[in-house]
A and B are shown apart, each in its own frame.
Chain A
Amino acid sequence: MMKNIFTRFLTIACALCTTAGIQQASAQKNESDNGSVTTTLTPHSKDGVFSSTASYTFSVNSTYKNDEVGKVSYLVTTETGKKVRADSVKVKIGANGSGNYNFDIPGLSPGFYKINFMVNVSDYDDTTRKAFGIRPTEIRSQYGKPADFEAFWRQALSDLAKVKPDYKVTELPDSSRDNRRVFLVEMKSLGNLTIRGYLTEPITKNKNKKFAVLLGLPGYQVSLGPMFGTDPDIAIFTINIRGSGNSKDVINVRRESYIVLNLEDKNRYVLRGAIMDCVRAVDFICSRPELRHDNIIASGGSLGGFLAVATSSVDKRISFCSAANPILSDIRNLVHEVDWPFIDIGRYVKTRPGLTMDKVLSNMDYYDAKNFATNLECPTLVGMGLVDNIAPPNNVYTLYNNVRAPKHVIIFRDLAHEIGVKFNVYEGRWMRDTFALF
């Protein structure tokens, strides 16, 4: 009986599979019969930055066996979505034909813009979304920094100095690899909170060897572990700021709550402590005889990029700053450009009686990356993606333009909140040259 049921089930299953296969093959055949349209957008600038007129070629290729009639158009908006320019051309693409359409967009003010290219023809509609910049070196924020910005951070450093670090270094022999020793580092930071990080050092027979240090700073709510690599010249210290990774003894909040923690009081805002945690990490580096105290690179992406800029600004012991996609730059202009963190901030404001968005913005002026940038004295590398919707290019470039130290920016035309290998390679080269690690 069971055997019969199983045989019948197997037969039905095979029949269904066969039918499905035939249907799939049939669908593919129909699609192949119908044809398709593909588009290619070619910006006439490697990094999507133009000195005056933005220029693109939009190519449309059709494999349909009939004429495709319609239009090709573009729409330029500001980063906040305000329409700036639009244009279209009527197109008729023959069977198995193609067309190239050149668009020049002159007369735009300095800044970054979003641009959508649309193709709407008989059998096909599609939109390609990109961004471009016009003379970004002229971008400036209309908002200055608070008059007591430096005094505010001097006070923070002074408060940190009153906290005895109580460094505790524990070797983790089981974690050793890549010819590196691994240490768990614990220390006290602002507010007497315990923060932790991992130090990995190359094993060397040279007792006089001193290592340059890469201080790795975490992205938002990212837990950093020990970092490895076979480079014999560089020690890596990854720090988990308060509320991140293994530094959650006191601050252990939900992901969306971290960025708003104590935002109503600039002296208690969580990022004040987080930045001081990074300074404490530099204190630790400078307490170690085997580490070079004049060859410290602060490096990170996203919140880590912000922390790299902020820490390098308030702590001149850092000799190289590398910030990829730094967030929280030109915050007052950021409010209407990005959802995060302002949706969370908006919710937080509603739950705090008497707290207003104006008050929040006044507090955040002390945490604006562009305001830290003016005090940077070390070589600074900035990486950005043109279609980044967390660290928009206008805001990142405002930060970059505020840097008066030797600086370099690498723009990734087609990337969002990330950077490409080119950034890493350039960072390695520049850092090695700066630290004379030839």
Chain B
Amino acid sequence: MFMRADGCETLLHCFKKKFMSLKKSPLKVLLLITILFTIFQNSSFAQGGFPVRPGRLLISPAVSYFYANSQWDSVGTLRSFPNKGNFTSYGITLHSEFGITRRFAAVATLPYVVNQYRQATAPKTTTTSGLTDLETGLKFYAFNIDFIYYFSIQATAITPMYTNNASLGYGEEGGELKLAFSGTGHLSDLSTYFNVEDGVRQYFGTNGPIQDRYSGTFGLTLDEDFLNQVSVTVSGIYSQSNDKSFSPVRTLSNKDFNFLQASLAYGHTFTPEFSVFINGGKFITGRNTGNGYIGSLAFIYRLDYR
């Protein structure tokens, strides 16, 4: 009869394995992954559709480099910038997320750019620098499916940090509503994750464009401890406005355009609190937009305050 009670011993083993599984469970991926967002010439890294732990502050300073010497015109034909021109942008982006409660997280992004346009004729070099659009938002963790797939909704306010400088942006306030869907999985023995999101953004000024901003990421952790990860991201913007003009010098203030870009990122987690990501990407197609290359280096700090 007591051989039966030996089943309890088996359960004890299961119980021990159980705790170990907390570390190895796919959900652990969620703790360390970071989703790359490359929209236009700035990059940032964030939690995507995954919820943010209450009391956790995620800070991600990133430096990025963007270069373009050709453009897709209003009908999508690729041609060189006039006068052998090229556009270079250096950016520093500070992105942060803070878990307020289990459901809500505050999100903020502040980019600073140095834009430079060079051409063969005068003015040979045009340089502009400054803060661009501050984005502040609130992310709501809506629901999950089997604790594998997570859905979130984010409302964001866009506030220009400059006045009368078309090289830095529209100079108009705006708002965005974004849906994000993230999840984890397996590919053979490796853990995978994905993030798909789509946001509709409206700028409120004259001819303020309405934009669809979308992004899809698929990532793979390269080891059991999730120390190394690679991801591929495809993202783009479809922007519509009555203002159809295009200027390669003021790429941030073009209003009627679209593009699709792809990028590849590698991330290494040094400690649970600190990771570094490098990223490289390229525009694939577009209309009324520059054809550029982008590279970035981002540092992720996760600080827990509870």
Residues of A in contact with B (beta carbons under 8 Å apart): 206, 208-210, 214, 216, 218-222, 224, 227-232, 234, 236, 255-256, 299-304, 324-325, 339-340, 343-344, 389-390, 416-419, 421, 423-433, 436-438
Contact = CB atoms under 8 A, between A and B. Distances in A.
A436 B56 CA distance: 11
B15 A299 contact: yes
Contacts of A219: 5, 7-9, 11-12
A337 to B, nearest CB: 13
A344 B5 CA distance: 13
Given A222-B8, A340-B1, A433-B144, A231 B19 contact: yes
A303 B12 CA distance: 11
Interface stretch (B46-54, B88-96, B254-262): B46-54
Interface residues of B, number: 42
A328 to B, nearest CB: 13
Given A256-B2, A344-B1, A426-B147, A416 B7 contact: yes
6 contacts: A219-B9, A228-B19, A229-B20, A417-B10, A418-B7, A429-B146
Given A428-B27, A429-B27, A301 B14 contact: yes
Given A216-B15, A343-B1, A301 B22 contact: no
A424 B18 contact: yes
B12, B30, B51: which has the most chain A beta carbons within 10 Å? B12
B10, B14, B305: which has the most chain A beta carbons within 10 Å? B14
A430 B16 CA distance: 18
Nearest to A303: B8
Contacts of A429: 25-27, 146-148
Interface of B: 1-2, 4-5, 7-12, 14-23, 25-27, 30-31, 50-54, 56, 99, 101-102, 144, 146-148, 272, 304-306
Contacts of B21: 421, 424-425, 428
B5 A255 contact: yes
A424 B305 contact: no
B201 to A, nearest CB: 26
B245 to A, nearest CB: 44
A221 B5 contact: yes
B5 A236 contact: no
Give chain B's interface secondary structure class. Answer: helix
Closest 7 CB pairs of A and B: A219-B8, A301-B11, A417-B7, A429-B147, A436-B102, A424-B18, A229-B19
Contact of A224 (B12, B26, B147, B306): B12
A433 B19 contact: no
Nearest to A236: B19
Contacts of A303: 8
Contacts of A325: 7, 11
Contact of A428 (B10, B22, B51): B22
A289 B99 CA distance: 22
B77 to A, nearest CB: 46
B14 A418 contact: yes
Given A208-B306, A426-B147, A339 B8 contact: no
B59 to A, nearest CB: 16
Nearest to B12: A222
Nearest to B272: A232
A433 B102 CA distance: 9
A220 to B, nearest CB: 5
Contacts of B14: 301, 324, 418-419, 423-424
A229 B101 CA distance: 27
B13 to A, nearest CB: 9
A390 B7 contact: yes
A214 B306 contact: no
Given A229-B23, A231-B23, A301-B15, A436 B54 contact: yes
B19 A227 contact: yes
A209 B20 CA distance: 21
A220 B8 contact: yes
A206 B304 contact: yes
A324 B14 CA distance: 10
B159 to A, nearest CB: 28
A232 B50 CA distance: 20
A229 B4 CA distance: 28
Given A222-B8, A302-B8, A389-B4, A427 B18 contact: yes
A272 to B, nearest CB: 20
A227 B52 CA distance: 28
A381 to B, nearest CB: 11
Nearest to B54: A436
A425 B26 contact: yes
A210 B55 CA distance: 11
B53 A436 contact: yes
B1 A256 contact: yes
A229 B1 contact: no
A220 B27 CA distance: 31
Contact of B31 (A210, A220, A423, A438): A438
A219 B7 CA distance: 9
Given A325-B11, A418-B11, A433 B147 contact: yes
Given A210-B306, A222-B11, A227-B16, 18 more contacts: A208-B306, A219-B5, A222-B9, A222-B12, A230-B23, A234-B19, A234-B22, A256-B1, A302-B11, A339-B4, A418-B7, A421-B17, A425-B25, A428-B22, A429-B27, A433-B144, A436-B99, A438-B53
A412 to B, nearest CB: 11
Given A324-B14, A429-B148, A437 B53 contact: yes
A377 B304 CA distance: 29
A385 to B, nearest CB: 9
A218 B52 CA distance: 34
Nearest to A431: B22
A438 B51 contact: yes
A339 to B, nearest CB: 6
B19 A430 contact: no
Contacts of A339: 1, 4
A139 B102 CA distance: 35
Contact of B30 (A218, A230, A438): A438
A228 B144 CA distance: 29
A302 B17 CA distance: 16
B19 A214 contact: yes
B52 to A, nearest CB: 6
A245 to B, nearest CB: 11
B154 to A, nearest CB: 16
